[in-house]
């Protein structure tokens, strides 16, 4: 996520866009409202619907103008999610152009007046679409936008450390920016590499995550968390032998941590080594007997081994520990919302268990 620093900063077309959003849009909106009022005021008493349409359009225009200013200020101050905010504004503003083109035809005006409005409505809609296309494309492709918002901000190391570790598992651009910053300031910080690996996993960039976890391990070989995190990334790439090796190393460092045996059991399960999967899950349960994920793993391992009785027993145990499993796959969806990760393969196997 590093970009050419020569383009970094709110200058050029990016600055022009900010000025458009903060100054030109409000002024243009105000001018349009005043002009429309002066042209339509004499007809309000004759066509009551016209006044209603004018008021509604004015209110919507005012709200969108506030959003425009907010987007422009966010871009200018290089705020987190500024580009996303600006894109949302552009989409909403495009929708407004369609709205503004259609709503006058609900005012109850004579047919000759409506016929006269058609070319202007069409012209306004096309102008809105052109403006949207230009600026939305600019935000997506501009080297300056990428360098300014997706690269390293100028902030103190203490600011970075506070903000970078506040959301270590988040997939937000701000987190990646902050973790990049810390690694540049302190390239021997194993925790920063581990946390950036977590963020990359959230972004499903498993190969890059493995590189960061490996760097964290090189810096601190006695930290079990980096090994188990790298094992998880290897699992996502279906490199199960490497995942098993990392999980075993994590266990050798922290032999009484139940989650590591759960992870190891899962890797054995996906590699179809059901005997070792059972052994790992049983060790997990010995350490933490209320871990429903290990119970599910045992249920699947026994199911695949042809032992339906034991499979049903451990599935029932899992349901006792986690009642939402009584709902089947809809329960799994609810559990996922709390941060549990079930792969497509996991879900396919669970559907078999739930029948």
Contact 241/271 with Cβ under 8 angstroms? yes
The alpha helices in 142-253, defined as continuous H runs, are 143-149, 157-164, 173-185, 190-202, 206-219, 224-236, 240-253
Instruction: Give the alpha-carbon dihedral of 177, 182, 183, 186, to 10 degrees.
Output: 160
Model pTM? 0.53
State which of 254, 272, 297 marks the end of a domain.
254
DSSP secondary structure letter of residue 324: G
Q: Same structural domain for residues 142 and 15?
A: yes
Q: Same structural domain for residues 305 and 341?
A: yes
Sheet strands (E) in the chain: none
Residue 52 burial (C-beta neighbours within 10 Å; 0-12, 13-18, 19+): middle
Task: Determine the pLDDT at residue 7.
Answer: 66
Task: Determine the pLDDT at residue 22.
Answer: 96
24 token code pair: 């030109």
Count how many domains the chain has: 3
Q: Same structural domain for residues 201 and 296?
A: no
Q: Same structural domain for residues 10 and 141?
A: yes
State which of 209, 230, 254 marks the end of a domain.
254
Who contacts 97 (Cβ-Cβ below 8 Å, separation ≥6)? Answer: 124, 125, 127, 128, 129
Contact 155/93 with Cβ under 8 angstroms? no
Who contacts 87 (Cβ-Cβ below 8 Å, separation ≥6)? Answer: 136, 139
Q: What three-state secondary structure class fits 346? A: helix
Q: Same structural domain for residues 248 and 263?
A: no
Mean confidence (pLDDT) of the chain: 86
Q: Same structural domain for residues 43 and 72?
A: yes
Q: Same structural domain for residues 224 and 297?
A: no
CATH of the domain at 215: 1.25.40.10
Task: Determine the pLDDT at residue 150.
Answer: 60
Q: Same structural domain for residues 331 and 245?
A: no
Q: Which of 205, 173, 204, 179 is nearest to 193 (CA)?
A: 179
State which of 231, 254, 277 marks the end of a domain.
254
pLDDT digits (tens, 9 = 90+) for 266-312: 999 999 999 999 999 999 999 999 999 999 999 999 999 999 999 99
The residue with tokens 């907010």 is: 70
Q: How many residues in total does the chain contain?
A: 355
Task: Determine the pLDDT at residue 94.
Answer: 93
Alpha-carbon 108 to chain mean position: 45
**Pairs from 343-347 (Cβ < 8 Å, separation ≥ 24):** 343/236, 345/270
Portion of the chain with pLDDT greater than 90, in percent: 52
pLDDT digits (tens, 9 = 90+) for 75-122: 998 776 788 899 999 999 999 989 988 888 888 888 887 788 888 888
Q: Same structural domain for residues 219 and 289?
A: no
Q: Which of 159, 169, 160, 221 is nearest to 190 (CA)?
A: 221
Q: Which domain holds residue 216?
A: 152-254
Q: Same structural domain for residues 159 and 248?
A: yes
Q: Which of 65, 125, 129 is nearest to 100 (CA)?
A: 125
pLDDT averaged over 10-residue windows placed end to end, the chain, 355 residues? 57 94 94 89 84 91 95 86 90 92 86 83 89 93 80 38 37 67 84 88 88 95 91 95 96 93 95 96 94 94 94 93 91 83 86 85
Who contacts 214 (Cβ-Cβ below 8 Å, separation ≥6)? Answer: 230
Q: Which of 232, 288, 236 is nearest to 257 (CA)?
A: 288
Task: Determine the pLDDT at residue 1.
Answer: 37
The residue with tokens 């987007």 is: 71
Q: Same structural domain for residues 282 and 325?
A: yes
Q: Same structural domain for residues 189 and 130?
A: no
């Amino acid at each position: 996520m590093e970009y050419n620093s020569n383009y970094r900063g709110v200058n050029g077309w990016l600055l022009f866009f900010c000025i458009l959003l903060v100054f030109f849009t409000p002024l243009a909106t105000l001018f349009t409202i005043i002009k429309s009022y002066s042209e339509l005021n004499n007809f309000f008493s004759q066509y009551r619907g016209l006044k209603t349409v004018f008021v509604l359009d004015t209110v919507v225009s005012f709200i969108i103008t506030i959003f425009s200013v907010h987007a422009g200020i966010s871009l200018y101050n290089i705020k987190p999610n500024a580009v996303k905010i600006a894109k949302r504004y552009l989409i909403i503003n495009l929708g407004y152009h369609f709205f503004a083109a259609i709503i006058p035809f609900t005012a109850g005006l004579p047919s000759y007046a409506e016929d006269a409005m058609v070319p202007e409505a069409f012209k306004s809609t096309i102008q809105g679409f052109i403006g949207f296309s230009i600026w939305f494309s600019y935000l997506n492709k501009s080297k300056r936008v990428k360098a300014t918002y997706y690269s390293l901000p100028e902030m103190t190391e203490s600011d970075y450390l506070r903000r970078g570790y506040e959301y270590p598992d988040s997939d937000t651009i701000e987190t990646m920016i902050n973790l990049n910053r810390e690694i540049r300031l302190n390239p021997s910080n194993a925790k920063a590499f581990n946390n950036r690996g977590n963020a990359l996993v959230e972004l499903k960039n498993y190969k890059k995550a493995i590189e960061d976890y490996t760097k964290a391990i090189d810096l601190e070989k006695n930290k079990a968390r980096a090994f188990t995190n790298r094992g998880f990334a290897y699992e996502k790439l279906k490199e199960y032998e490497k995942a098993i090796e990392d999980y075993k190393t994590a266990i050798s460092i922290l032999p009484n941590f139940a989650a590591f045996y759960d992870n190891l059991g899962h890797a054995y399960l996906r590699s179809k080594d059901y005997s070792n999967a059972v052994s790992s899950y049983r060790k997990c349960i010995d350490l933490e007997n209320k871990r429903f994920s290990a119970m599910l793993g045992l249920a699947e391992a026994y199911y695949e081994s042809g032992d339906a009785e034991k499979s049903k027993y451990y599935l029932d145990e899992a349901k006792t520990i986690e009642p939402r499993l009584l709902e089947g796959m809809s329960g799994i969806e609810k559990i996922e919302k709390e941060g549990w990760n079930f792969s497509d393969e996991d879900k396919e196997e669970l559907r078999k268990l739930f029948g």
